Structures are given as C-alpha cells and as structure tokens.
C-alpha cells in the first residue's frame, strides 16, 4: 500500500511538472555556453583567394554584382573596376544606369573604397537620398527619478505646456492640447505627426529622465538609444530624427540596410536611420535585418536574433532569402566579427565553410565569384590592392610602428594619437597612431550593469567589463511573453484595436499590452496533457480498489507460481449396519472390522505456500 501511495505522488508530480513546463518552451540564450571548435586551417583563405583571382583572370566578362563583390574582396582589379564604371549612369554617380538604386550604389561605394577609388561623390549621393520615414508613431516619455509626483514644463517654438506627472509615472493633466495627447497606456505623450520636426525642451521640479519612443503602426514599441538625465529645474532636449534611404518609389528597406552598413563601415553617422530599420525589420525578415542592425548599433537582442537563426551551429540560411546560405552566412560573420572579442558562432561557421569549400578553393551556392568574394571579405579579410584615384586608404595599419586598429576615436585622441589613412582589416576599425590602453567601463564614463539589470542606452565595447552601458542601468523588466506566432498570435501595442482584446495571460515590455484576436484572449490549456493526467489518476484509483487481486497477480508473475483451485474426491459411501445372521457350519468367523475414521483431503501444498508468503508480505 505504501508503494502505491508513493507511486501516485510521483506520477502526479511528474504530470503536473510536464503540463506546466510545456507552456514555457523558449530557450534562454542569455547564458553563455562553452563550445570547443576545431581550428580552421590557414589553407582555407589561401585557397579561396587563389581560386577567386584565377576565375577573375580567366573570365572575359562579369555581371555588375560579380564586379562589385570581387572588388570588395580583392580591391583594385582593372577588369572589375572597368565593368563597374561602365554600369554608372552617365550624368550621375549612381548604379546601375537603368534604375540608380540605393543598395547597388552603396555596394559600389564600399568597392571603390577597397580599390582606392574616389567615392566622396557616391557618399554624398547616398546621404542626399535620406528622407523622413513614414509609418512611425512617436512618443515623449518623462520619468521622475525617485518616482514621486512632480510638475514638468515642455516647451517648443513659443509654446509652453505645464504637465503633471503622477506617482505611478503616468501623465496627469495638461497633455491633451497642442502637439501632445496621452498615449493609450497613459505613460507617454504622443507627438502629433504635424510636430515631428519640432524640438522639445523639458524641465521638471525634481530630478528627471526623458527619452523618445516609437512604434510602427500596430507594432512593437521601441525605446530610443539616447536617454537624457537632468536635475531639478535643469533642461533636456528631445527631437524626432527618423529617416530612411529612398528610391523613386519611397523608402527602400533593403537599400537602407546596405547604405547603413556601408556608411558605418566608412565611419559615417547614420543614427537617424536606425529607428526605421528597427521598426520595419519584422516586415522584411528575408533580408536578415538583425545582422545589419548588429553591425550598425550592436545590441543584445539583435545578437540573440542572429544566434537563434544559425542552423545546427554551422551556417545561416534565412527563410525566403533571395541570396542563399553563403551570402547569409557572410552577413552574420561580418556582423558578429565586428569586435575584438571572438564569437563562438563565428568559429563554428568558419569550420563549416572549411568543409563546404570546393576542391578548387571557391564556394558556390548562387554565384561562385559573389559567394567566394563575400565569404573572404567577411571571414578572412586582407589588405586590398589599391589603384589610382585616391580615397581608398594606404597600406596596412600594422606596417606603422606603434600604431593600432581601434574602434573609439575619442580614446585614440585621449591617448595622444590621431587617425591615420592606413587600413584595418576588421570592419568599423580605424588606424590610430598609438596603442590605446584598454579602458575600464568607468574610464569610458560608462556604467557596469549587474546580472539583474539591463542597459537602456548603448552598450560600450569595453573588453572584460561585462555589460558596460552608456547610461545608468535599470532593473530588468519582465520578459515579453506575448506570442508572435501560432494560433494565439498576438502583438504588443499601446492599446488594442476594435477586433482585439487585451490578454492578462501574456506580458509586454515598455508599458504596452498583449493584444489577441477577440475570443482567444483567455488562458490557454494543453488539453492533451490534462487528459493524460486524468487517466493516470484513474489508473491509480483502480489500482487501490483492486489492490488485493493485483498483489496476488504480481507475486505470482514475479515468482513464477501457478495456482489452481483445490479439488476434493467424492464422499465415502455410507456403511449400512446389518445384523449378522447364523453362520453356516464350517464357515470361518469373520475378522473384526476396523473402526470407521472420516476421510481427510490433503491440502494443496503449492497454494498453502503461496498464501503463507502473501501473509508475510502483507504483514511487512
């Protein structure tokens, strides 16, 4: 009986754990895992460059894409530069001549930089293609540092608005006229579309923090990377600055991704394009936007997005990608390998590429010249050949005594150095005339975030400092659980639409709520697992009720004992007493009959042994 009770408890706990645990299947990618990756042979890039140079030498004609990527990998190669020049629009500095799109022109700017060709006019053309990004809703957030009520003044143009902030940091009175209306959640001031070009100056009676937030219509709310702190009666300034790169038809998302990457590589500021790239990423997943975003403004969420998309710790191939796996893998390596800290995912991908390399040294999933060029530039970059025309830099930085490749220009200047024209192989690096000492997070005027905190600003690339944030860290907010796919697909919004209802089961960050289709907002249940749990309980109850029979059956099966019913013979015939008659003469006298004794039936020895053992087992 004790064993049955213990079995029941174990089964119940297991079933409960299985049901409850099945609801949370998301893996936590925030924990680091140590993976040993074999070293990649140095023959891989050697064979790759030899194969690429041989194909370019032996091929008589090239497509524009082949010429661009070949020049990005090798630098100046006359047939490639000639092909690129032939495809330029005659009266403009854009490519191709037929359409002049942002993406191709940005790629040419990078190719010309690598080949030592002048690209200043190309960069100017790209920057002139910037325009206001449409389809975004903007909010102004004002928080009092000690989370107590206060009064703030927001000024723009010649207007001043006095706004009260409540104890729960919701907006009180004074926010329903002019450029502002309260958001649906009540925590922010929605900026009207007609005021997006204005500059807002904020002052409060207590210490406060301001920042801007934005969301795609009906989408996720994003927090700006810039947050401003000020003391009582001091001021902060916020201004919406959201742009995209436009073609003739309007904002071009893929073109904006490439323009942002190339201009970042060329040390140009493109922070005003980041809100558009982030907000529209979910609409164009086939272009692998997280890799571009991590290259431009590295954040932990973009890093996690890239890592989750790696196939079997080997390569990347995005669903719907028009460029196939070697192109996508090159994008991921280019993004993840941007810092001096080695990434396990990059090492794994390079090991995969070693095995995928053909015998001649090239790679080919879509185009052998394009694939090989992009892989080499991303994974094994080398100094590019320089041609005439200027604007492409000089020799390697390592050739200059005492110089080093750095990522922080201000740190270089503070160390007494200056920027040189010599090349660095890693993206986003520049050549500093001196070696910059390794900075601490405090020395870089940053803040070290603890394990239970998160960075709301920009993460500074400081070696061995954990998470170093450009602004103060804040306690981690509850992770979003609003489902993004499946039958219960939901969206985090500031307020739910007419055909939606708010779900109390799921959570969102940033003061938003999880909106599900009406009729689906109730708590979900895994009925299959619940039915299994019920059946297990029924089986245990049946086992308790018929425990005696189960004991006998179990013991018989375990010890190989066979039982059969006890059979008895027929009862003896009754003896009729008769009176003895006269004996004939000479007849012998009969012997005395033995006294009658009742017949006893032998017990079944096997059955007796069985019940004896069962009795002993029951008493224990």
Q: What is the mean pLDDT of residues 281-295?
A: 95
SS3 category, 376: helix
Confidence of residue 257 (pLDDT cuts 50, 70, 90): very high
Q: What is the mean pLDDT of residues 177-200?
A: 90
The two structure tokens encoding residue 181: 């209306």
Kindly list the distances between the CA atom of residue 105 and the CA atoms of 64, 88, 93, 378, in Å, as whole numbers in the listed order. 11, 9, 8, 19
Q: Which pLDDT score, from 0 to 100, does residue 536 have?
A: 85
pLDDT of 530 over the 90 cut: no
Q: Where do we find the tokens 């460029």?
A: 323
> What whole-number distance in Å separates Cα of residue 541 and Cα of residue 547?
10
The neighbour count for residue 611, using CB atoms within 10 Å, is 13
Q: What is the pLDDT of residues 445-500, one digit of tens each?
A: 677 787 777 776 666 666 555 677 766 677 765 556 787 666 677 877 767 777 78
Exposed e or buried b per residue across 123-138, where buried means at least 16 C-beta atoms within 10 angstroms of its C-beta: bebbeebbebbeebbb
Kindly list the distances between the CA atom of residue 321 and the CA atoms of 56, 66, 106, 363, 375, in Å, as whole numbers in the listed order. 26, 19, 20, 18, 17
> What whole-number distance in Å separates Cα of residue 494 and Cα of residue 142?
16
Q: 185 CB contacts (<8 Å, ≥6 apart)?
A: 494, 495, 511, 512, 513
Confidence of residue 348 (pLDDT cuts 50, 70, 90): very high
Q: What is the pLDDT of residues 110-151, one digit of tens each?
A: 999 999 999 999 999 999 999 999 889 999 999 999 999 999
Runs of H (alpha helix) within 368-469: 368-379, 409-414
Q: Mean pLDDT in the chain?
A: 80
Confidence of residue 19 (pLDDT cuts 50, 70, 90): very low
What is the number of alpha carbons within 13 Å of residue 213 lying toward its C-beta? 25
Least confident of 83-92, 199-208, 218-227: 218-227
Least confident of 202-211, 302-311, 379-388: 379-388
Least confident of 525-529, 558-562, 590-594, 604-608: 590-594
Contact 391, 119 (CB under 8 A): yes
Least confident of 229-238, 509-518, 611-620: 611-620
Contact 330, 375 (CB under 8 A): yes
Q: What is the pLDDT of residues 152-181, one digit of tens each?
A: 999 999 899 999 999 999 998 887 778 999
Q: Which pLDDT score, from 0 to 100, does residue 600 have?
A: 47
Closest CA to 64 of 102, 91, 97: 97
Top pLDDT among 559 and 354 is at: 354
Confidence of residue 40 (pLDDT cuts 50, 70, 90): confident
The neighbour count for residue 559, using CB atoms within 10 Å, is 9
Q: What is the mean pLDDT of residues 33-49?
A: 77
Range of 131-135, 182-186, 234-238, 501-505 with top mean pLDDT: 234-238
According to DSSP, the residues that pair with 3 across neighbouring strands are none
Q: Which pLDDT score, from 0 to 100, does residue 470 have?
A: 67
Length of the chain: 620
Q: What is the mean pLDDT of residues 63-90?
A: 96
The two structure tokens encoding residue 189: 């001031």
Q: Which pLDDT score, from 0 to 100, does residue 430 have?
A: 80
The two structure tokens encoding residue 192: 């009207």
Q: Which pLDDT score, from 0 to 100, does residue 612 have?
A: 72
Q: Which pLDDT score, from 0 to 100, does residue 392 have?
A: 46
Q: What is the pLDDT of residues 372-425, one digit of tens each?
A: 999 999 999 988 888 765 544 456 787 788 888 887 777 888 888 998 877 776
Q: Where do we find the tokens 């490749």?
A: 405
């Amino acid at each position: 009986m004790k064993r049955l009770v213990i079995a029941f408890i174990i089964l119940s706990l297991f079933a409960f754990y299985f049901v409850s645990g099945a609801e949370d299947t998301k893996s936590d990618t925030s924990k680091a895992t140590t993976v040993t990756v074999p070293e990649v042979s140095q023959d891989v890039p050697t064979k790759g460059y030899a194969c690429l140079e041989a194909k370019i030498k032996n091929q008589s004609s090239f497509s524009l894409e082949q010429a661009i990527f070949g020049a990005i990998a090798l630098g100046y190669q006359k047939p490639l530069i000639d092909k690129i020049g032939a495809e330029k629009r005659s009266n403009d500095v854009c490519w191709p001549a037929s359409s002049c799109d942002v993406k191709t022109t940005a790629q040419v700017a990078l190719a010309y930089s690598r080949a030592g060709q002048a690209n200043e006019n190309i960069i100017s053309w790209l920057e002139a293609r910037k325009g206001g990004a449409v389809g975004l809703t903007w909010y102004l957030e004002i928080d009092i540092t000690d989370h107590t009520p206060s009064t703030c003044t927001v000024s723009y143009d010649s207007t001043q608005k006095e706004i009260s902030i409540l104890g729960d940091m919701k907006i009180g009175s004074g926010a329903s006229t002019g450029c502002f209306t309260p958001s649906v959640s009540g925590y922010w001031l929605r900026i009207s579309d007609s005021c997006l070009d204005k500059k807002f100056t904020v002052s409060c009676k207590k210490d406060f923090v301001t920042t801007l937030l934005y969301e795609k219509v009906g989408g996720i709310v994003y927090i700006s990377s810039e947050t401003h702190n000020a003391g009582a009666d001091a001021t902060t300034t916020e201004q919406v600055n959201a742009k995209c790169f436009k073609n003739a038809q309007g904002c071009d998302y893929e073109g904006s991704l490439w323009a942002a990457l190339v201009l970042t590589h060329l040390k140009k500021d493109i922070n005003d394009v980041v809100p558009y790239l982030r907000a529209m990423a979910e609409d164009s997943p086939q272009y692998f936007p997280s890799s571009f975003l991590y290259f431009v403004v590295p954040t932990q969420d973009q890093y996690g997005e890239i890592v989750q998309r790696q196939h079997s710790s080997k390569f990347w191939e995005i669903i719907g990608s028009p460029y196939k796996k070697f192109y996508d893998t090159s994008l991921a390596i280019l993004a993840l390998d941007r810092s001096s800290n080695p990434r396990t995912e990059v090492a794994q991908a390079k090991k995969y590429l070693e095995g995928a390399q053909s015998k001649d040294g090239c790679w080919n999933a879509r185009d052998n010249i394009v694939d090989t060029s992009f892989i080499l530039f991303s994974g094994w970059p080398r100094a590019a050949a320089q041609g005439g025309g200027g604007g492409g830099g000089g020799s390697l930085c390592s050739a200059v005594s005492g110089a080093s490749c750095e990522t922080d220009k201000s740190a270089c200047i503070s160390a007494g150095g200056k920027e040189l024209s010599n090349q660095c192989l890693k993206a986003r690096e520049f050549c500093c005339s001196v070696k910059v000492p390794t900075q601490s997070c405090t020395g870089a005027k940053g803040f070290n975030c603890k394990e239970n905190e998160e960075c709301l600003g920009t993460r500074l690339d400081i070696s061995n400092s954990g998470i170093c944030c450009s602004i103060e860290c804040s306690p981690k907010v509850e992770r979003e659980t609003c489902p993004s796919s499946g039958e219960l697909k939901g969206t985090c919004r500031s307020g739910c639409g007419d055909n939606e209802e708010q779900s109390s089961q799921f959570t969102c960050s940033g003061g938003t709520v999880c909106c599900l289709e009406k009729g689906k907002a109730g708590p979900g249940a895994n009925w299959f697992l619940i039915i299994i749990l019920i059946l297990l309980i029924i089986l245990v109850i049946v086992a308790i009720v018929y425990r005696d029979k189960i004991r006998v059956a179990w013991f018989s099966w375990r010890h190989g004992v066979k039982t059969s019913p006890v059979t008895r013979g027929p009862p003896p015939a009754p003896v009729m007493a008769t009176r003895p008659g006269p004996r004939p003469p000479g007849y012998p006298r009969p012997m005395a009959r033995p006294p009658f004794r009742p017949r006893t039936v032998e017990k079944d020895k096997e059955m007796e042994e069985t019940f004896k053992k069962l009795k002993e087992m029951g008493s224990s």
